[in-house]
Amino acid sequence: MDTEKAHAAYMVLHKRSSIFERLIDGPAYQNQLVDEVDASQSTIYRGLKQLEDHDLVKKQDGMYVPTTFGEVVYTQYERTDEIVRTFAESKRLLETRQEIGTVLDPSVARDATTRVIGETRPDLVYEYLEEQVSEAAKISGVVPTIFSPMVETYLTQTTANRLEAEFVFGREATEHVQTKLSDEFKTLINTGNFDAYSYSGEIPMGVVVITEPIEHVLVVIHDDIGVVRGIIDSKDRAAVTWARDWYSKHKAESTPLTLS
């Protein structure tokens, strides 16, 4: 199937998704679909013909069923639809000065919760972030900046052996820790439950992977670095894999954090 035909099949599936969704639940006769999809006879007829013409459904024993191709395309359609809806519902999330369009993996928008400053109070965004850290048992992250109030949370959790954490800090975060929070981070590292690394390049967003007790990823989106626009919290497996890879890549290019 060439690109043009593949695109046409995808568009037909989008247009006739209500019919296809019903067929995913089980085979159906044409007359059944008129009642169950709540559409006219002519609409169902045209829809089935289009789906059949693009190899998305087939007739079997007088009933319509999805083809394997149709099922595969529909799975991807559902994923894409969820991603678009998540970002469309939180448009302000992506109105950032940081160039994240080519590095932010779209999978983070699946199985996701968002908090956006401007759509909710700023303090609620920070409270949400602190909640997630407080409930975590194991964290790894790449961050462009440090939120000082979070340091106390890390200290409390690591000192009590309730949290294992390791972070890669961007240049601004490294400078902030070394000049303003050196004593606090010495204490953190001395707990044996906190490791920190310094990355010399720019980091356009915060990516924090929480692996215990529930695996999920927090993406912290900034306007100017240090000015948070919002958070995406995704439990999607592909998003977690992307975030792990993001962390591993930056850690491999980092050096242990030095404190005076």
Residues 21 and 147 in one domain: no
Instruction: Examine the fold and report which residue of 77, 107, 130 is the final residue of a domain before the chain moves on.
Output: 77
Task: Supply the pLDDT for residue 10.
Answer: 84
Residues 173 and 218 in one domain: yes
The confidence band for 142, taking pLDDT boundaries of 50, 70 and 90, is: very high
The confidence band for 140, taking pLDDT boundaries of 50, 70 and 90, is: very high
Task: Supply the pLDDT for residue 85.
Answer: 80
Higher-pLDDT residue of 176, 91: 176
Task: Supply the pLDDT for residue 226.
Answer: 65
Residues 66 and 42 in one domain: yes
Residues 58 and 173 in one domain: no
Task: Tell me: pLDDT of 1 over 60.
Answer: no
Mean pLDDT, to the nearest integer, of 178-206? 92
Residues 43 and 167 in one domain: no
Residues 96 and 72 in one domain: no
Residues 61 and 145 in one domain: no
Tell me the per-residue pLDDT of 75-93, one tens digit each, with 9 for 90 and over: 888 888 888 887 777 777 7
Higher-pLDDT residue of 139, 38: 139
Domain range for 229 is 90-256
Instruction: Examine the fold and report which residue of 77, 99, 121 is the final residue of a domain before the chain moves on.
Output: 77
Residues 56 and 149 in one domain: no
Distance CA 146, CA 135 (A): 19
Domain count, the chain: 2
**Residue 28 within any structural domain of the chain:** yes
**Residue 82 within any structural domain of the chain:** no
The CATH number given to whatever domain includes residue 33 is 1.10.10.10
Residues 14 and 121 in one domain: no
Residues 72 and 98 in one domain: no
Tell me the per-residue pLDDT of 84-132, one tens digit each, with 9 for 90 and over: 887 777 777 777 777 777 788 989 988 888 888 766 677 788 888 889 9
**Residue 108 within any structural domain of the chain:** yes
Task: Supply the pLDDT for residue 169.
Answer: 94
Mean pLDDT, to the nearest integer, of 243-249? 96
Task: Tell me: pLDDT of 67 over 70.
Answer: yes
Task: Tell me: pLDDT of 158 over 80.
Answer: yes
Instruction: Examine the fold and report which residue of 77, 108, 133 is the final residue of a domain before the chain moves on.
Output: 77
**Residue 83 within any structural domain of the chain:** no
Residues 127 and 210 in one domain: yes
Higher-pLDDT residue of 133, 192: 192
Tell me the per-residue pLDDT of 5-52, one tens digit each, with 9 for 90 and over: 778 888 898 899 899 999 999 999 998 998 899 888 999 999 999 999
Q: Percentage of residues in the chain with pLDDT exceeding 90? A: 48
Whether pTM > 0.85 for this model: the answer is no
Residues 13 and 126 in one domain: no
**Residue 215 within any structural domain of the chain:** yes
